[in-house]
Amino acid sequence: MKISKTWKIASLLIVVAMVLAGCQKAAPEAATSGGTIGSAERATQEYVWISNFSSLPLFVERVYPALEAFARDFNVVVRKAGPTTDDIAAYITTVETECARKPAGIIVVGGWDQSLQEPVNKCLEMKVPVVVTDGDLPNSNRLSYVGTNWYNLGVSMAKFQIEEHKKRGWTTGKVAILSPINFQNMQEAREGIKDTLAGTGIEIVAIEDNESNAGIAAQKTHAILTANPDLTGLFGLDSESPPGIVTALDEAGKTGELIVTVNEAGLDFFNNIVDGKVQLISIEKYDVMNYLALSMLYMWHNDAIRPAGLDPWTNNWMPNKIDSGLIFVTKDNVEEVIKYYTEQQAKSE
């Protein structure tokens, strides 16, 4: 009886050990079966971010870290491409060239020009997935737009101008807008400003093209100030108009006299809020838009999901638009923002 019981216990232990051993051998196999996020068989997947003016300081500071974070987190390759100057023809050629290489996915920064629709459509015809960021190409066949709602950016800046005019006791006002004229996203932002200021007593007296150049922005601002000595506010919608506006106001001796609302222009520019030269800086969530765009391209390329089991190329599952949102920097939070970006810059050096 004792021998039988001992044998039964020993047999049970052997069976358990065999099961555990089998599980231990199977676990690594299951972890890589079909590929998982970060697994070695996906390490050669290449995703490409393409833009005009691809080395703008703003892109280097805000976009590049997000691209690098995704590459690190997902163990894939993420490259940057596109002309380093304002060259739409070269930009279009770059998009077409990169698509011909058949990468896993492409991000096209669309706000520069609507002529980008054609190369985006060509990419999709070659079955290369494309997500557009930072300025939509609404008439293209892009799979999704992830980025700023530029109309809302204009609305938000205009609302701030209205409130600041009231705080200063001004019942009327005259304002001017500086931005590239032809870019689709800039047109949308200007429409937001116009619609919001309508009927408020604040008149738009000038809309000037700064050609994405800080020096030209300074010249245009100087001309606006000369023609409108009673100007009360200025809008700068791209990253190059803010420094030009501040330079012109300093030279005219009008620092702090006007209400200045601008889009971001890099880390150092935030100090202009501390110095009272600018009252509002809007920050686009470049990190959010690019990480999200890459995530969707990764899901698409790896066939991670198929709603209703349908082929994504004939039944696009991506959301048509995702608003990545905005952050507004004022005197109330500027020190916190400067501290954060200074620390991030130090980490990257």
The DSSP code sequence of 18-75 is HHHHHHHHHHHHHHHTT--TT-GGGTT-EEEEE-TTTT-HHIIIIIHHHHHHHHHHHT
**pTM of the full structure:** 0.81
CATH class label, 150-283: alpha beta
Domain boundaries, the chain: 40-148+286-318, 150-283
Strands (DSSP E) contained in the chain are 46-50, 77-81, 105-109, 130-133, 144-147, 173-179, 202-209, 233-236, 259-263, 280-284, 321-323, 326-329
Exposed e or buried b per residue across 185-202, where buried means at least 16 C-beta atoms within 10 angstroms of its C-beta: bbbbbbebbeebbeebeb
Could you give the CA distance from residue 223 to residue 209 in angstroms, rounded to a whole number?
A: 12
Q: CA torsion 103→104→109→112, rounded to 10°? A: 40
Beta pairing partners, 259: 233
CB 224, CB 235: distance < 8 Å = no
The structure tokens 């409108």 sit at: 228
pLDDT 10s per residue in the chain (349 long)? 334 444 343 343 333 333 334 433 333 333 333 578 888 989 999 999 999 999 988 888 889 999 999 999 999 999 999 999 989 999 999 999 999 999 999 999 998 888 999 999 999 999 999 999 998 999 999 999 999 999 999 999 999 999 999 999 999 999 999 999 988 889 999 999 999 999 999 999 999 999 989 999 999 999 999 999 999 999 999 989 999 999 999 999 999 999 999 998 788 899 999 999 999 999 999 999 999 999 999 999 999 999 999 999 999 999 999 999 999 999 999 999 999 888 877 776 6
Beta pairing partners, 175: 204, 233
CATH class label, 40-148+286-318: alpha beta
Could you give the CA distance from residue 293 to residue 299 in angstroms, rounded to a whole number?
A: 10
